[in-house]
Structure 1
Amino acid sequence: MHNYFILLISLFLLSVSCNSDYTPKPRGYFRIDLPEREYKQTPEKLPYAFEYPVYSVLVNYRQTQPELYWINLVFPKFNATLHLSYKTIDNNLEEYLNDSRNFVYKHTVKADAISETPYLNAEKKVYGILYDIKGDAASNTQFFLTDSTHNFIRGALYFEVYPNKDSLAPVLDFINKDLVHLIETFEWN
């Protein structure tokens, strides 16, 4: 009987001591292989020129876009597209600037923060702002460039996936560095 009592107490202590608090495991994401950085030049038929990554595809949507020189820079490996909208200025620069700013700040509903980085290249007459939209916004990077008298271009990067800042962060950081290169090499033809 004494052994039975010790066995019962041992089983009770063993069952009580095995309770551990559950801690959720962090969510894992797929490893993304990023390509080497290498660039090529845009075709000469455009009223602007820049260097863009060789891992992307430049697509002219002249047939479906309302404007002649609107193009898309498609990143097939990352399921992303940079939409570039070109306009000629006809005493309406302020309208284009306001439109660009309004398009960016429509993302404040989902954005954690929006930062603006001005770009100025007086030698090439390229002026603009790069917008970095933090959080689960539909478009995390937008920019505009202008010579302030004749030409205006607006860019917006979209991913064809549900926005999740954690899973998109490595790809977004990688593409953003190439977009900065695009802006720094941009010039008007």
Structure 2
Amino acid sequence: MVRNFLFGLFSILILLYSCAGDYSPKPRSYFKIDLPEKKYQLYTSDCPYSFDFPVYAQILPDKDREAKPCWIDVHYPQFNGRIHLSYQSFSSREQFDQLVEDARTFAFKHTVKATAIDEAMISYPEKKVYGIYYSIDGNTASSVQFFLTDSTKNYLRGALYFNEQPRLDSIQPVLDFIKKDIDHMIKTFKWK
């Protein structure tokens, strides 16, 4: 009994002593991300388009069973992310309008988690490259989506995904970094 009393008293003294110091919890932190130097190389294939992509990324064919020819991923292994690119040709105004509406629908599916969705027109008439760029803010599965077309027969849709739970505060530096790559890709994009 005396033993239990002394043990209890000792425990209380240790608890009081440990609470006497000035303590504040450390804020949650994330790993430091080393971003590579921006360098680009040309992507060209049998597909009817070409563009510059980063040397620190890989072009991989889409392995999905529903994938069509010329569907590829610009894979960022060090960031656990990818830009999914899906190409489709069209032969009528109705098909074109449906592809544009599909791109809009895919972008606005993120409305539930998005804090904002901004649209920007893409227009490079000298290369016959037109489209819309969707910047999606918030903790969404895809922060950037876009489509490019020559408005006569070719259409390419792109979407950026990370294989992580979407937490904007932790991926923001990488997102800003990859957005610059997407901008460069769009500026250098050409139809064959």
C-alpha contact (below 8 Å) 2:44/2:51 kept by paired residues: no
Which TM-score applies when normalising by structure 1?
A: 0.85
Measure how far apart 1:21 and its partner are: 9.6
- State the aligned residue count: 173
Match of 2:183 in 1: 180
String of CA shifts for 1:134-186, please: whole Å, max 9, x gaps: 11000011100001111000001100000000000000000000000000000
Aligned Cα root-mean-square deviation (Å): 2.0
TM alignment of 1:79-98, pairs within 5 A: 79-91=80-92, 92-98=95-101
Q: Which residue of 2 aligns with 1:78?
A: 79
- Native 8 Å contact 1:51 1:182 kept in 2: yes
In the alignment, what sits opposite 1:68? Answer: 69
Question: Alpha-carbon deviation of 1:20?
Answer: 9.4
Could you list the runs of 4 or more consecutive aligned residues of structure 1 that deviate by over 4 angstroms after TM superposition?
18-24
* Structure 1: runs of 5+ lacking an equivalent: 1-14
Are residues 1:46 and 2:55 paired? no
1:27-176 paired onto structure 2 within 5 Å = 27-61=28-62, 64-91=65-92, 92-176=95-179
| C-alpha spacing 1:22/1:155, structure 2 compared with 1 (3 Å) | same
Q: Which one-letter code corresponds to 2:171 in the other structure?
A: L
Percent of aligned pairs with the same amino acid: 49
Q: 1:29 to 1:94 in 2, by over 3 A?
A: same
The amino acid of 2:162's aligned partner reads: F
Are the aligned partners of 1:42 and 1:52 in contact in 2 as well (CA < 8 Å)? yes
Distance 1:116 1:20 in 2: 53
- For residues 134 and 20 of structure 1, do their structure 2 counterparts lie closer, same or farther at Cα, with a shift above 3 Å needed? farther
TM-score normalised per structure 2: 0.84
